[in-house]
Amino acid sequence: MIRLKSAEEVEIIKESAQILGKAHAEVAKAIKPGVKTKDLDKIADEFIRDNGGTPSFKNYHGFPSALCISVNDTVVHGFPSGYEIRESDIISVDCGVKYKGFHSDSAYTYPLEGVGPEVLKLLERTYESLFLGIAQAKAGNRIGDVSFAVQSYVEQFGYGVVRELVGHGVGKDLHEDPEVPNYGKRGKGPKIAAGMVFAIEPMINMGTKKVIQEKDGWTIKTGDHKPSAHFEHMVAIFEDRTEIVTTHEYIEDSYKFKWRSKSQ
């Protein structure tokens, strides 16, 4: 069942998303070689709580941390740990905030300055696909229009589109209907209507679309161990417009490596 949000509820979600965006920025400031990923998790956890929210992911079905931190060939759901960031890594940070009863959820993949041009292209194109998907997220379209926009763009470069993990509705629950795959057909799937709030989150692999799950029951890696990129925004649908309710602006103001133009 798709739960439609009132204008007042969307405003609360936007407040939650502001805390989330600023928490991401605090993490962004700390990403550099030698830093342990568990230290990034501590930064986010403390910032969210200090600003009146709670981390959406922590204890969600037993997940142990405030952040999912996924490095290189880890697609999503990586555990923060004693791993020390290296100059050639890409670090996906996925975070959620619950505030006044409503969740927000967004993700950003950070390249370190030693990342090669092919991997940077993967990140750039994955980020571009997010906004192509958002452009199709409007009242009267269907979820398949969003999915097709992402898939058709990235597959032309030979990238793999992960099938097993999808975007989703967000509201009083972290994961709600509808599911928002990154692959699909135009004109298919649930009709997009005013009051819907959902996350679009391309998870795009440099190689195969196939993934494997680690024994911890959470960590998802690429089947060929090539890099994977992940970016996520939430959108709110109105009759006459679509609003991006999450923000990467604070991240891009804070992260020292200016790896792409801020055209979006």
Task: Give pLDDT tens digits for 83-112.
Answer: 999 999 999 999 999 999 999 999 999 999
Residue 155 banded pLDDT, cuts 50, 70, 90: very high
| pLDDT of 43 over the 60 cut | yes
H/E segment holding residue 221: strand 220-222
Q: Tell me the residue ranges of DSSP E strands in 60-143.
A: 67-71, 74-76, 90-99, 102-111
| pLDDT of 70 over the 90 cut | yes
Residue 194 banded pLDDT, cuts 50, 70, 90: very high
Percent of the chain with pLDDT over 70: 98
Q: Which one-letter amino acid corresponds to residue 141?
A: N
Q: What is the pLDDT of residue 34?
A: 98
| pLDDT of 172 over the 90 cut | yes
**Residue whose C-alpha is closest to residue 90's, from 50, 63, 121, 54:** 121
Q: What is the pLDDT of residue 157?
A: 98
Q: What is the pLDDT of residue 104?
A: 98
Q: What is the pLDDT of residue 173?
A: 98
d(CA 228, CA 245): 25
Q: In the chain, count H helices and then E strands.
A: 5, 15
DSSP string, 225-247: ---EEE-BEEEEE-SS-EEE-S-
**Mean pLDDT of the chain, nearest integer:** 97
Largest CA distance in the chain: 48
Scored b (16 or more CB within 10 A) or e, 10-20 reads bebbbbbbbbb
Contact of 67 with 44, CB cutoff 8 Å = yes
d(CA 194, CA 171): 14
Three-point CA angle 228, 234, 236, nearest 5°: 155
Residue 11 banded pLDDT, cuts 50, 70, 90: very high
Global pTM reads 0.97
| Mean pLDDT to the nearest integer, 151-160 | 98
Q: What is the pLDDT of residue 262?
A: 58
d(CA 160, CA 122): 11
Q: What is the pLDDT of residue 260?
A: 87
d(CA 196, CA 103): 14
- CATH domain 7-254 topology: Creatine Amidinohydrolase (3.90.230)
Q: What is the CA radius of gyration of the chain?
A: 17
| Mean pLDDT to the nearest integer, 179-193 | 98
| pLDDT of 261 over the 80 cut | no
